[in-house]
Amino acid sequence: MVLSSAASKSDESIHSTFASRYVRTSLPRFRMPENSIPKEAAYQIINDELMLDGNPRLNLASFVTTWMEPECDKLIMASINKNYVDMDEYPVTTELQNRCVNMIAHLFNAPLGESEAAVGVGTVGSSEAIMLAGLAFKRKWQNKRKAQGLPCDKPNIVTGANVQVCWEKFARYFEVELKEVKLSEGYYVMDPAKAVEMVDENTICVAAILGSTLNGEFEDVKLLNDRLTEKNAKTGWDTPIHVDAASGGFIAPFLYPELEWDFRLPLVKSINASGHKYGLVYAGIGWCIWRNKEDLPEELIFHINYLGADQPTFTLNFSKGSSQIIAQYYQLIRLGFEGYRNIMENCQENAMVLKAGLEQTGRFNIVSKDDGVPLVAFSLKDNSRHDEFAVSEFLRRFGWIIPAYTMPADAQHITVLRVVIREDFSRTLAERLVLDIEKALHELDAMPCKKDMENKITKPAAIAWKKLVENSKNKGIC
Ligand SMILES: *Cc1c(COP(=O)(O)O)cnc(C)c1O
Protein backbone atom coordinates (compact mmCIF):
# COMPACT_ATOMS: atom_id res chain seq x y z
CA MET A 1 0.00 0.00 0.00
CA VAL A 2 2.62 2.44 1.20
CA LEU A 3 4.97 1.44 -1.56
CA SER A 4 2.49 1.88 -4.36
CA SER A 5 1.33 5.27 -3.11
CA ALA A 6 4.97 6.41 -2.96
CA ALA A 7 5.51 5.18 -6.49
CA SER A 8 2.49 6.96 -7.89
CA LYS A 9 3.43 10.11 -6.00
CA SER A 10 6.91 10.15 -7.50
CA ASP A 11 5.47 9.46 -10.93
CA GLU A 12 3.09 12.35 -10.50
CA SER A 13 5.85 14.75 -9.44
CA ILE A 14 8.10 13.72 -12.32
CA HIS A 15 5.38 14.33 -14.80
CA SER A 16 4.33 17.67 -13.44
CA THR A 17 7.84 19.10 -13.00
CA PHE A 18 9.27 17.83 -16.22
CA ALA A 19 8.11 15.85 -19.20
CA SER A 20 10.49 13.00 -18.37
CA ARG A 21 7.83 10.35 -18.63
CA TYR A 22 7.34 11.25 -22.21
CA VAL A 23 10.92 11.72 -23.23
CA ARG A 24 12.30 8.42 -21.99
CA THR A 25 11.59 6.98 -25.38
CA SER A 26 11.97 8.91 -28.59
CA LEU A 27 8.86 10.54 -29.93
CA PRO A 28 7.10 9.10 -32.94
CA ARG A 29 8.24 10.84 -36.09
CA PHE A 30 6.16 9.21 -38.76
CA ARG A 31 2.78 8.33 -37.30
CA MET A 32 0.62 10.43 -35.05
CA PRO A 33 0.86 8.98 -31.50
CA GLU A 34 -2.02 6.80 -30.35
CA ASN A 35 -2.63 8.63 -27.06
CA SER A 36 -2.80 12.19 -25.81
CA ILE A 37 -0.21 13.70 -23.47
CA PRO A 38 -0.67 16.57 -21.00
CA LYS A 39 -0.32 20.06 -22.43
CA GLU A 40 2.62 20.86 -20.15
CA ALA A 41 4.51 17.84 -21.45
CA ALA A 42 3.81 18.72 -25.09
CA TYR A 43 5.02 22.25 -24.46
CA GLN A 44 8.15 21.11 -22.65
CA ILE A 45 9.11 18.56 -25.28
CA ILE A 46 8.72 20.94 -28.21
CA ASN A 47 10.30 23.87 -26.41
CA ASP A 48 13.33 21.74 -25.53
CA GLU A 49 13.83 20.47 -29.04
CA LEU A 50 13.61 24.01 -30.39
CA MET A 51 16.52 25.06 -28.16
CA LEU A 52 18.73 23.39 -30.75
CA ASP A 53 17.67 25.88 -33.44
CA GLY A 54 20.03 28.80 -33.97
CA ASN A 55 19.36 32.06 -32.15
CA PRO A 56 17.42 34.26 -34.62
CA ARG A 57 19.13 37.41 -33.32
CA LEU A 58 22.54 35.97 -34.19
CA ASN A 59 21.34 34.80 -37.58
CA LEU A 60 23.27 37.20 -39.75
CA ALA A 61 22.37 35.20 -42.85
CA SER A 62 18.89 36.61 -43.10
CA PHE A 63 17.37 39.92 -44.13
CA VAL A 64 14.21 39.03 -42.29
CA THR A 65 13.17 40.92 -39.15
CA THR A 66 13.87 39.20 -35.84
CA TRP A 67 12.89 41.91 -33.39
CA MET A 68 9.87 44.16 -32.94
CA GLU A 69 8.69 46.35 -30.10
CA PRO A 70 6.67 44.67 -27.31
CA GLU A 71 3.66 46.87 -28.14
CA CYS A 72 3.64 45.46 -31.64
CA ASP A 73 4.13 41.90 -30.34
CA LYS A 74 0.96 42.53 -28.32
CA LEU A 75 -1.01 43.60 -31.39
CA ILE A 76 0.27 40.53 -33.24
CA MET A 77 -0.82 38.12 -30.51
CA ALA A 78 -4.20 39.85 -30.25
CA SER A 79 -4.88 39.26 -33.95
CA ILE A 80 -3.30 35.82 -34.33
CA ASN A 81 -6.78 34.27 -34.62
CA LYS A 82 -8.02 36.53 -37.42
CA ASN A 83 -8.24 35.14 -40.92
CA TYR A 84 -7.37 37.94 -43.28
CA VAL A 85 -9.69 36.69 -46.00
CA ASP A 86 -12.81 37.25 -43.84
CA MET A 87 -13.01 40.83 -45.00
CA ASP A 88 -16.67 41.17 -44.15
CA GLU A 89 -16.00 40.20 -40.56
CA TYR A 90 -12.76 42.14 -40.16
CA PRO A 91 -13.26 45.29 -42.21
CA VAL A 92 -10.78 47.30 -40.18
CA THR A 93 -7.97 44.86 -40.98
CA THR A 94 -8.79 45.17 -44.68
CA GLU A 95 -8.74 48.93 -44.32
CA LEU A 96 -5.29 48.77 -42.68
CA GLN A 97 -3.90 46.71 -45.59
CA ASN A 98 -5.31 49.26 -48.04
CA ARG A 99 -3.66 52.09 -46.09
CA CYS A 100 -0.33 50.22 -46.18
CA VAL A 101 -0.66 49.81 -49.98
CA ASN A 102 -1.33 53.54 -50.35
CA MET A 103 1.58 54.58 -48.13
CA ILE A 104 4.04 52.24 -49.84
CA ALA A 105 2.85 53.30 -53.32
CA HIS A 106 3.49 56.95 -52.37
CA LEU A 107 6.88 55.98 -51.00
CA PHE A 108 7.66 54.50 -54.44
CA ASN A 109 6.38 57.67 -56.17
CA ALA A 110 3.38 56.10 -57.87
CA PRO A 111 1.57 58.68 -60.01
CA LEU A 112 -1.38 59.16 -57.66
CA GLY A 113 -3.58 62.02 -56.63
CA GLU A 114 -3.45 63.01 -52.94
CA SER A 115 -6.41 60.79 -51.95
CA GLU A 116 -6.47 58.38 -54.86
CA ALA A 117 -6.33 54.68 -53.90
CA ALA A 118 -3.17 52.91 -55.06
CA VAL A 119 -3.16 49.59 -56.93
CA GLY A 120 -1.41 46.93 -54.88
CA VAL A 121 -1.73 44.00 -52.57
CA GLY A 122 -0.30 42.53 -49.38
CA THR A 123 1.29 39.11 -49.89
CA VAL A 124 3.10 36.50 -47.84
CA GLY A 125 6.44 37.88 -49.03
CA SER A 126 8.24 39.13 -52.09
CA SER A 127 8.06 35.68 -53.66
CA GLU A 128 4.27 35.74 -53.87
CA ALA A 129 4.44 39.38 -54.98
CA ILE A 130 6.82 38.40 -57.78
CA MET A 131 4.54 35.52 -58.90
CA LEU A 132 1.66 38.01 -59.14
CA ALA A 133 3.66 40.70 -60.92
CA GLY A 134 5.06 38.11 -63.33
CA LEU A 135 1.57 36.76 -64.06
CA ALA A 136 0.30 40.27 -64.77
CA PHE A 137 3.14 40.87 -67.26
CA LYS A 138 2.63 37.50 -68.90
CA ARG A 139 -1.13 38.02 -69.29
CA LYS A 140 -0.71 41.57 -70.63
CA TRP A 141 1.86 40.42 -73.17
CA GLN A 142 -0.31 37.47 -74.24
CA ASN A 143 -3.38 39.67 -74.67
CA LYS A 144 -1.45 42.07 -76.83
CA ARG A 145 0.12 39.35 -78.97
CA LYS A 146 -3.24 37.61 -79.44
CA ALA A 147 -4.85 40.86 -80.54
CA GLN A 148 -2.06 41.23 -83.13
CA GLY A 149 -2.48 37.63 -84.29
CA LEU A 150 1.06 36.77 -83.16
CA PRO A 151 2.18 33.58 -81.37
CA CYS A 152 2.34 33.89 -77.59
CA ASP A 153 3.69 30.54 -76.47
CA LYS A 154 7.32 31.46 -75.76
CA PRO A 155 7.35 34.23 -73.16
CA ASN A 156 10.64 35.16 -71.49
CA ILE A 157 11.93 37.43 -68.73
CA VAL A 158 15.37 39.04 -68.80
CA THR A 159 17.20 39.23 -65.45
CA GLY A 160 20.73 39.14 -64.08
CA ALA A 161 22.18 35.76 -63.08
CA ASN A 162 22.14 37.20 -59.56
CA VAL A 163 18.33 36.94 -59.24
CA GLN A 164 16.84 35.49 -56.11
CA VAL A 165 15.58 31.92 -56.46
CA CYS A 166 11.92 33.00 -56.49
CA TRP A 167 12.35 34.24 -60.08
CA GLU A 168 13.47 30.77 -61.13
CA LYS A 169 10.45 29.44 -59.30
CA PHE A 170 8.16 31.83 -61.15
CA ALA A 171 9.75 30.85 -64.45
CA ARG A 172 9.29 27.14 -63.82
CA TYR A 173 5.80 27.26 -62.31
CA PHE A 174 4.35 29.66 -64.87
CA GLU A 175 6.29 28.46 -67.91
CA VAL A 176 8.28 31.53 -68.74
CA GLU A 177 11.88 31.27 -69.92
CA LEU A 178 14.40 33.07 -67.70
CA LYS A 179 17.11 34.72 -69.79
CA GLU A 180 19.95 35.56 -67.44
CA VAL A 181 22.64 38.14 -68.03
CA LYS A 182 25.90 36.54 -66.88
CA LEU A 183 28.04 38.19 -64.20
CA SER A 184 31.80 38.59 -64.27
CA GLU A 185 34.56 38.86 -61.70
CA GLY A 186 34.22 42.19 -59.92
CA TYR A 187 30.75 42.91 -61.40
CA TYR A 188 28.03 41.06 -59.57
CA VAL A 189 24.82 42.66 -60.81
CA MET A 190 22.91 42.82 -64.11
CA ASP A 191 24.57 44.99 -66.74
CA PRO A 192 21.67 47.10 -68.15
CA ALA A 193 23.23 47.31 -71.64
CA LYS A 194 23.60 43.53 -71.89
CA ALA A 195 20.08 43.03 -70.52
CA VAL A 196 18.57 45.29 -73.17
CA GLU A 197 20.50 43.41 -75.86
CA MET A 198 18.79 40.18 -74.72
CA VAL A 199 15.29 41.66 -74.95
CA ASP A 200 13.22 40.30 -77.87
CA GLU A 201 9.59 40.37 -78.97
CA ASN A 202 8.79 37.59 -76.47
CA THR A 203 10.17 39.43 -73.44
CA ILE A 204 7.33 40.08 -71.01
CA CYS A 205 9.51 42.29 -68.77
CA VAL A 206 13.04 43.01 -67.62
CA ALA A 207 13.41 42.46 -63.89
CA ALA A 208 15.91 44.70 -62.11
CA ILE A 209 16.94 44.16 -58.51
CA LEU A 210 17.21 46.94 -55.98
CA GLY A 211 19.51 45.21 -53.57
CA SER A 212 21.03 42.03 -54.94
CA THR A 213 20.86 39.22 -52.41
CA LEU A 214 24.48 38.33 -53.19
CA ASN A 215 26.17 41.61 -52.34
CA GLY A 216 23.40 44.12 -51.62
CA GLU A 217 24.24 46.23 -54.67
CA PHE A 218 21.48 48.29 -56.35
CA GLU A 219 21.16 47.72 -60.08
CA ASP A 220 21.07 50.82 -62.28
CA VAL A 221 17.34 50.96 -63.00
CA LYS A 222 17.54 54.46 -64.51
CA LEU A 223 20.10 53.39 -67.10
CA LEU A 224 18.01 50.31 -67.84
CA ASN A 225 14.93 52.51 -68.29
CA ASP A 226 16.78 54.82 -70.69
CA ARG A 227 18.30 52.05 -72.80
CA LEU A 228 15.05 50.13 -72.95
CA THR A 229 13.15 53.28 -73.95
CA GLU A 230 15.52 53.65 -76.91
CA LYS A 231 15.10 50.00 -77.89
CA ASN A 232 11.30 50.20 -77.59
CA ALA A 233 11.27 53.26 -79.83
CA LYS A 234 13.38 51.48 -82.43
CA THR A 235 11.47 48.17 -82.42
CA GLY A 236 7.94 49.33 -81.67
CA TRP A 237 7.73 46.99 -78.65
CA ASP A 238 6.80 48.30 -75.25
CA THR A 239 8.82 46.01 -72.98
CA PRO A 240 8.24 47.08 -69.36
CA ILE A 241 10.39 46.88 -66.20
CA HIS A 242 9.65 45.25 -62.86
CA VAL A 243 11.79 46.23 -59.88
CA ASP A 244 12.47 43.54 -57.30
CA ALA A 245 12.97 45.85 -54.34
CA ALA A 246 12.61 43.10 -51.73
CA SER A 247 15.28 44.75 -49.57
CA GLY A 248 15.92 48.08 -51.29
CA GLY A 249 12.28 49.20 -51.35
CA PHE A 250 12.45 50.15 -47.69
CA ILE A 251 16.01 51.48 -47.87
CA ALA A 252 16.37 53.67 -50.95
CA PRO A 253 13.42 56.02 -50.16
CA PHE A 254 15.00 56.84 -46.79
CA LEU A 255 18.74 56.83 -47.49
CA TYR A 256 18.81 57.85 -51.17
CA PRO A 257 15.66 59.86 -51.91
CA GLU A 258 17.30 61.33 -55.03
CA LEU A 259 18.01 57.94 -56.58
CA GLU A 260 15.53 57.28 -59.41
CA TRP A 261 14.66 53.60 -59.38
CA ASP A 262 10.88 53.58 -58.90
CA PHE A 263 7.69 54.82 -60.60
CA ARG A 264 9.50 58.07 -61.46
CA LEU A 265 10.88 55.98 -64.35
CA PRO A 266 8.12 55.56 -66.97
CA LEU A 267 8.86 51.92 -67.86
CA VAL A 268 8.64 50.71 -64.25
CA LYS A 269 5.17 49.15 -64.08
CA SER A 270 5.35 47.17 -60.85
CA ILE A 271 7.52 46.90 -57.74
CA ASN A 272 7.69 44.32 -54.97
CA ALA A 273 9.11 44.79 -51.48
CA SER A 274 9.37 42.49 -48.47
CA GLY A 275 7.59 43.98 -45.49
CA HIS A 276 9.44 41.40 -43.42
CA LYS A 277 12.90 42.60 -44.49
CA TYR A 278 13.62 46.33 -44.09
CA GLY A 279 9.87 46.94 -43.80
CA LEU A 280 10.72 45.80 -40.24
CA VAL A 281 7.96 43.20 -39.68
CA TYR A 282 8.38 39.52 -38.70
CA ALA A 283 8.32 36.92 -41.50
CA GLY A 284 5.13 36.62 -43.53
CA ILE A 285 4.50 39.93 -45.29
CA GLY A 286 5.35 41.38 -48.70
CA TRP A 287 3.90 43.97 -51.04
CA CYS A 288 3.29 44.28 -54.75
CA ILE A 289 2.44 47.71 -56.12
CA TRP A 290 1.41 48.47 -59.71
CA ARG A 291 1.86 51.80 -61.39
CA ASN A 292 -1.73 52.04 -62.73
CA LYS A 293 -4.91 50.02 -62.97
CA GLU A 294 -4.03 49.30 -66.63
CA ASP A 295 -0.90 47.43 -65.58
CA LEU A 296 -2.89 44.79 -63.74
CA PRO A 297 -5.14 42.89 -66.21
CA GLU A 298 -8.72 42.89 -64.95
CA GLU A 299 -9.19 39.15 -65.55
CA LEU A 300 -6.65 38.33 -62.82
CA ILE A 301 -8.61 40.20 -60.17
CA PHE A 302 -11.27 38.50 -58.09
CA HIS A 303 -13.96 40.65 -56.60
CA ILE A 304 -15.11 39.95 -53.09
CA ASN A 305 -18.25 41.53 -51.75
CA TYR A 306 -17.07 43.42 -48.72
CA LEU A 307 -19.81 45.05 -46.61
CA GLY A 308 -21.74 45.64 -49.76
CA ALA A 309 -18.70 47.28 -51.32
CA ASP A 310 -16.37 45.74 -53.84
CA GLN A 311 -12.96 44.57 -52.59
CA PRO A 312 -10.70 43.44 -55.41
CA THR A 313 -8.23 40.69 -54.47
CA PHE A 314 -5.30 39.23 -56.32
CA THR A 315 -3.34 36.67 -54.29
CA LEU A 316 -2.31 33.06 -54.72
CA ASN A 317 -3.64 31.89 -51.36
CA PHE A 318 -7.08 32.33 -49.86
CA SER A 319 -6.81 32.21 -46.05
CA LYS A 320 -3.90 33.75 -44.17
CA GLY A 321 -3.12 35.53 -40.93
CA SER A 322 -3.84 39.21 -40.32
CA SER A 323 -1.10 39.88 -37.77
CA GLN A 324 1.64 40.78 -40.23
CA ILE A 325 -0.53 43.33 -42.01
CA ILE A 326 -1.44 44.94 -38.70
CA ALA A 327 2.21 44.91 -37.67
CA GLN A 328 3.22 46.60 -40.93
CA TYR A 329 0.68 49.34 -40.33
CA TYR A 330 2.04 49.72 -36.80
CA GLN A 331 5.59 50.23 -38.08
CA LEU A 332 4.55 52.70 -40.76
CA ILE A 333 2.68 54.98 -38.36
CA ARG A 334 4.85 54.38 -35.31
CA LEU A 335 8.16 55.08 -37.04
CA GLY A 336 7.07 57.42 -39.81
CA PHE A 337 9.55 58.55 -42.41
CA GLU A 338 11.84 59.90 -39.70
CA GLY A 339 11.95 56.62 -37.78
CA TYR A 340 12.67 54.49 -40.84
CA ARG A 341 15.40 56.89 -41.94
CA ASN A 342 17.06 56.77 -38.50
CA ILE A 343 17.02 52.99 -38.43
CA MET A 344 18.38 52.66 -41.96
CA GLU A 345 21.14 55.20 -41.22
CA ASN A 346 22.04 53.28 -38.11
CA CYS A 347 22.21 49.98 -40.03
CA GLN A 348 24.39 51.62 -42.67
CA GLU A 349 26.77 53.00 -40.02
CA ASN A 350 27.06 49.60 -38.35
CA ALA A 351 27.80 48.04 -41.73
CA MET A 352 30.62 50.56 -42.17
CA VAL A 353 32.01 49.74 -38.71
CA LEU A 354 32.05 46.06 -39.59
CA LYS A 355 33.55 46.73 -43.01
CA ALA A 356 36.35 48.86 -41.50
CA GLY A 357 37.05 46.15 -38.93
CA LEU A 358 37.29 43.48 -41.62
CA GLU A 359 39.53 45.64 -43.78
CA GLN A 360 41.82 46.19 -40.82
CA THR A 361 42.52 42.47 -40.57
CA GLY A 362 44.11 42.76 -44.01
CA ARG A 363 42.70 39.36 -44.92
CA PHE A 364 39.55 40.20 -46.89
CA ASN A 365 38.35 41.76 -50.12
CA ILE A 366 35.03 43.59 -49.67
CA VAL A 367 32.57 42.80 -52.47
CA SER A 368 29.57 44.79 -51.22
CA LYS A 369 28.99 48.47 -51.97
CA ASP A 370 28.63 51.28 -49.43
CA ASP A 371 25.48 52.60 -51.09
CA GLY A 372 23.35 49.46 -51.29
CA VAL A 373 21.64 47.28 -48.71
CA PRO A 374 23.37 47.55 -45.30
CA LEU A 375 25.37 44.36 -45.48
CA VAL A 376 28.99 43.38 -45.79
CA ALA A 377 29.95 40.69 -48.30
CA PHE A 378 33.60 39.72 -48.26
CA SER A 379 35.96 37.06 -49.50
CA LEU A 380 39.36 35.90 -48.34
CA LYS A 381 42.30 37.42 -50.20
CA ASP A 382 43.96 34.03 -49.96
CA ASN A 383 41.73 30.99 -49.63
CA SER A 384 44.29 28.43 -50.73
CA ARG A 385 44.85 27.10 -47.22
CA HIS A 386 41.37 27.51 -45.77
CA ASP A 387 38.35 28.82 -47.59
CA GLU A 388 35.31 30.91 -46.72
CA PHE A 389 33.26 27.78 -45.90
CA ALA A 390 35.75 26.91 -43.18
CA VAL A 391 35.53 30.43 -41.73
CA SER A 392 31.72 30.19 -41.73
CA GLU A 393 31.85 26.82 -39.98
CA PHE A 394 34.29 28.11 -37.39
CA LEU A 395 32.13 31.13 -36.57
CA ARG A 396 29.21 28.86 -35.75
CA ARG A 397 31.14 27.77 -32.72
CA PHE A 398 30.82 31.29 -31.35
CA GLY A 399 27.09 31.26 -32.17
CA TRP A 400 27.31 33.43 -35.30
CA ILE A 401 25.40 32.25 -38.34
CA ILE A 402 27.19 33.69 -41.36
CA PRO A 403 26.67 32.01 -44.72
CA ALA A 404 29.34 31.37 -47.33
CA TYR A 405 28.34 30.82 -50.95
CA THR A 406 29.74 30.87 -54.45
CA MET A 407 28.66 33.50 -56.97
CA PRO A 408 26.51 32.49 -59.98
CA ALA A 409 27.71 32.28 -63.61
CA ASP A 410 30.19 33.58 -64.79
CA ALA A 411 31.73 34.32 -61.40
CA GLN A 412 31.44 30.84 -59.85
CA HIS A 413 35.07 30.88 -58.80
CA ILE A 414 34.36 33.65 -56.27
CA THR A 415 33.19 32.62 -52.79
CA VAL A 416 31.88 35.17 -50.33
CA LEU A 417 30.77 35.43 -46.74
CA ARG A 418 27.84 37.76 -46.06
CA VAL A 419 26.73 39.59 -42.93
CA VAL A 420 23.34 41.29 -43.14
CA ILE A 421 22.97 44.23 -40.79
CA ARG A 422 19.49 44.48 -39.32
CA GLU A 423 18.00 46.95 -36.85
CA ASP A 424 18.77 44.72 -33.87
CA PHE A 425 22.45 44.28 -34.75
CA SER A 426 24.17 46.76 -32.45
CA ARG A 427 27.54 48.48 -32.72
CA THR A 428 28.80 46.33 -29.84
CA LEU A 429 27.86 43.17 -31.71
CA ALA A 430 29.59 44.47 -34.85
CA GLU A 431 32.80 45.04 -32.88
CA ARG A 432 32.46 41.69 -31.17
CA LEU A 433 32.00 39.94 -34.50
CA VAL A 434 35.24 41.40 -35.87
CA LEU A 435 37.08 40.05 -32.80
CA ASP A 436 35.56 36.61 -33.29
CA ILE A 437 36.45 36.58 -36.99
CA GLU A 438 40.04 37.42 -36.05
CA LYS A 439 40.01 34.59 -33.54
CA ALA A 440 38.63 32.18 -36.15
CA LEU A 441 41.32 33.17 -38.63
CA HIS A 442 43.99 32.77 -35.99
CA GLU A 443 42.82 29.27 -35.13
CA LEU A 444 42.46 28.30 -38.76
CA ASP A 445 46.00 29.52 -39.45
CA ALA A 446 47.26 27.19 -36.74
CA MET A 447 45.46 24.22 -38.28
CA PRO A 448 46.93 22.07 -41.01
CA CYS A 449 45.83 23.22 -44.43
CA LYS A 450 42.90 21.35 -45.97
CA LYS A 451 44.98 19.76 -48.74
CA ASP A 452 47.44 18.39 -46.19
CA MET A 453 44.52 17.06 -44.23
CA GLU A 454 43.17 15.27 -47.26
CA ASN A 455 46.53 13.93 -48.42
CA LYS A 456 48.68 13.21 -45.40
CA ILE A 457 46.62 12.99 -42.28
CA THR A 458 44.91 9.77 -41.26
CA LYS A 459 41.83 8.78 -43.17
CA PRO A 460 39.25 9.41 -40.40
CA ALA A 461 40.53 12.95 -39.87
CA ALA A 462 40.41 13.66 -43.58
CA ILE A 463 36.86 12.34 -43.82
CA ALA A 464 35.78 14.41 -40.80
CA TRP A 465 37.27 17.52 -42.36
CA LYS A 466 35.58 16.90 -45.70
CA LYS A 467 32.24 16.40 -43.99
CA LEU A 468 32.67 19.69 -42.12
CA VAL A 469 33.36 21.55 -45.33
CA GLU A 470 30.58 19.82 -47.29
CA ASN A 471 28.07 20.55 -44.54
CA SER A 472 28.79 24.22 -44.60
CA LYS A 473 28.62 24.29 -48.40
CA ASN A 474 25.10 22.97 -48.41
CA LYS A 475 23.74 25.63 -46.11
CA GLY A 476 21.47 27.73 -48.28
CA ILE A 477 21.28 31.49 -48.15
CA CYS A 478 18.07 33.43 -48.02
C1 LIG B 1 14.44 38.04 -50.16
C2 LIG B 1 14.34 38.33 -51.59
C3 LIG B 1 13.32 37.77 -52.36
C4 LIG B 1 12.32 36.81 -51.79
O5 LIG B 1 11.55 37.48 -50.86
P6 LIG B 1 10.65 36.78 -49.74
O7 LIG B 1 10.01 37.98 -49.13
O8 LIG B 1 11.57 36.08 -48.82
O9 LIG B 1 9.69 35.89 -50.43
C10 LIG B 1 13.25 38.12 -53.69
N11 LIG B 1 14.14 38.95 -54.23
C12 LIG B 1 15.14 39.51 -53.53
C13 LIG B 1 16.08 40.46 -54.20
C14 LIG B 1 15.27 39.22 -52.17
O15 LIG B 1 16.26 39.77 -51.47
CB 393 within 8 A of CB 402: no
Give yes or no: residues 237 and 225 share one domain: yes
Distance between Cα 134 and ligand 1 center (Å)? 14
Query: How many domains are contained in the chain?
Result: 4
CATH number for the domain harbouring residue 10: 4.10.280.50
- At residue 464, the pLDDT reads 67
The string of pLDDT tens digits covering residues 442-472 is: 999 998 876 666 555 555 665 666 666 566 5
**226, 369: one domain:** no
* Residue 191 CB neighbour total at 10 angstroms: 18
Rounded to the nearest whole angstrom, what is the distance from the C-alpha of residue 477 to the centroid of ligand 1? 11
The pLDDT confidence band at residue 19, using thresholds 50, 70 and 90, is: low
The answer as to whether 28 is a domain residue is yes
242-266 burial by CB neighbour count: b if 16+ within 10 A, else e?
Answer: bbbbbbbbbbbbbbeeebebbbebe
Domain-embedded: residue 341: no
Confidence of residue 104 (pLDDT cuts 50, 70, 90): very high
Which domain CATH number covers 328? 3.40.640.10
Residues 268 and 179 in one domain: yes
Q: Are residues 395 and 357 in the same domain?
A: yes
pLDDT of residue 115: 87
Q: Using alpha carbons, select from 470, 414, 476, 472 the residue that is nearest to residue 440.
A: 472
My answer on whether 148 and 236 are in the same domain is: yes
Residues 114 and 89 in one domain: yes
Q: Calculate what percentage of the chain has a pLDDT beyond 90.
A: 77
Sheet holding 203-209, edge to edge: 119-123, 286-290, 268-274, 241-244, 203-209, 156-160, 177-181
More confident residue, 241 or 473: 241
pLDDT in tens, 42-62: 998 899 999 999 889 889 999
User: What is d(CA 410, CA 413) in angstroms, rounded to the nearest whole number?
Assistant: 8
Q: Is the residue at 34 inside a domain?
A: yes
Which is the closest atom of ligand 1 to the Cα of 213?
15
Question: Does 143 map to a domain?
Answer: yes
213 in a structural domain: yes
Q: Is a pLDDT exceeding 60 seen at residue 235?
A: yes
Q: Do both 85 and 213 map to the same domain?
A: yes
Q: Per-residue pLDDT for 129 more than 80?
A: yes
Ligand 1, pocket-test mutation among 121, 244, 324, most atoms within 8 A of CB:
244
Q: Mean of the pLDDT values across residues 239-255?
A: 98
Residue 471: phi and psi, rounded to 5, are -55, -45
Flag whether 67 is in a domain: no
Q: How far are the Cα atoms of 161, 229, 246, 302, 472 from residue 272, in angstroms, in the given order?
A: 19, 22, 6, 20, 31
Instruction: Tell me how far apart the alpha carbons of residues 163 and 207 are, in angstroms, rounded to a whole number.
Output: 9
Q: Identify whether residues 359 and 273 lie together within a single domain.
A: no
Calculate mean pLDDT across residues 228-233: 98
In the predicted structure, residue 309 carries a pLDDT above the cut 80: no
**Burial degree of 353 (CB within 10 A; 0-12, 13-18, 19+):** middle
Mean pLDDT of the chain: 90
What would the pLDDT profile of 158-184 be if each residue is shown by its tens digit? Answer: 999 999 999 999 999 999 999 999 999
Which residue's CA is the closest to the ligand 1 atom numbered 14? 246
Q: What is the mean pLDDT of residues 303-308?
A: 74
CA-125 nearest atom, ligand 1 = 7
Closest atom of ligand 1 to CA, residue 276: 7
- Residue 471: domain span: 452-478
Residue 448 per-residue DSSP state: P
Closest ligand 1 atom to the C-alpha of 129? 9
Span 372-387, average pLDDT: 95
Tell me, yes or no, whether 385 lies in a domain. yes
Query: Are residues 296 and 426 part of one domain?
Result: no
| Residue 363 CA, ligand 1 centroid: distance in Å | 30
Q: What is the DSSP string of 1-44?
A: -HHHHHHHHHHHHHHHH-THHHHSSPPPSSS--SS---HHHHHH
Distance 252 CA to ligand 1 centre (A): 16
Mean pLDDT of the region 310-336: 94
**Average pLDDT rounded to a whole number, residues 414-436:** 94
* Together in a domain, 424 and 467: no
Please indicate, yes or no, if residue 281 is contained in any of the structural domains.
Answer: yes
Taking residues 21-40, report their average pLDDT.
82
How much is the pLDDT for 461? 60
User: Would you state the pLDDT for residue 476?
Assistant: 46
- Relative to the CA of 478, which ligand 1 atom is closest? 1
Residue type for 232, please? N
238 pLDDT exceeds 70? yes
Pocket test residue of 121, 162, 274, 316 for ligand 1, highest count of atoms within 8 A of CB? 274
Q: Indicate the range of 115-124, 249-258, 462-471 predicted with least confidence.
A: 462-471
Q: What is the pTM of this model?
A: 0.90
Output the residue whose Cα is nearest ligand 1's atom 5: 126
Q: Residues with beta carbon inside 6 Å of ligand 1?
A: 63, 125-127, 164, 166, 209, 211, 213, 244, 246-247, 274, 286
Regarding whether 49 and 116 lie in a shared domain, the answer is no
Atom of ligand 1 nearest to the CA of 211: 13
Statement to judge: residues 292 and 310 lie in one domain = yes
When pLDDT is cut at 50, 70 and 90, the band that residue 14 belongs to is: very low
